[in-house]
Amino acid sequence: MKSTIKTRMKTNLDIFEYLQKRTIDTPNPEYFESMAQKILAEQNTPLKRVPYLKRIVLWSSAAAAAILLFLLIPHNAPSEKINLALELNALSKADVLSYVHEHLEEFDTDMLVAAVPSENIETISLITETESPEYSVISQAPVNFDVLDTKDILEYLENEGLDIYDLDEI
């Protein structure tokens, strides 16, 4: 049969001539009529109504449960309101200045410029001269490298990860 179809298709290229009609299974028209009657019958049935007393009991129990949950869950509200201005006034001026001097690098330059009023910029000294700490020399004795052994120097260089041949370039 395949060979006959192939030969026919080679001669005539209209494929729709070789397709045959199929029968499609459809339900009886009586099925649709019975389904329509069932739907109409369901819509004609009265709705079940919950009695008014049951509704009151349901809503009051839901409200009681909500109130109970509200009372039992701990709230994280602070007991005292903290006044920031009072807390900042408790700090001394010396404490604030020492903190600013210690953490000056952490402040944003734009924030510092915005904090200084432009009309008073000449009167405010932003840079204060600090006294540099004085260092005292512990000993004036000359350093003697004669006590160092070559083996100790090479061991130190090896521990530090330095190559002796790289030291010549420096």
Residue 3 belongs to some domain of the structure: no
Residue 98 belongs to some domain of the structure: yes
Note down the domain range covering 99: 84-120
Residue 112 belongs to some domain of the structure: yes
Number of structural domains (the chain) is: 1
Give the burial string for 86-100 (b: 16+ CB within 10 Å, else e): eeeeeeeeeeeeeee
**Cβ contacts of 42 within 8 Å, gap of 6 or more:** none
Task: Give the per-residue pLDDT at 150.
Answer: 82
Residue 89 belongs to some domain of the structure: yes
Helical spans, DSSP H, in the chain: 2-11, 29-44, 52-72, 84-89, 93-102, 109-115, 150-160, 164-169
Give the global pTM: 0.23
Residue 111 belongs to some domain of the structure: yes
Residue 150 belongs to some domain of the structure: no
Residue 93 belongs to some domain of the structure: yes
pLDDT in tens, the chain (170 residues): 556 666 655 655 567 777 777 888 888 889 989 998 888 888 877 777 778 888 898 999 999 999 998 888 877 665 566 777 777 778 888 888 888 888 877 877 777 777 766 666 666 565 555 666 666 666 666 767 777 788 888 888 888 888 777 776 55
Residue 99 belongs to some domain of the structure: yes
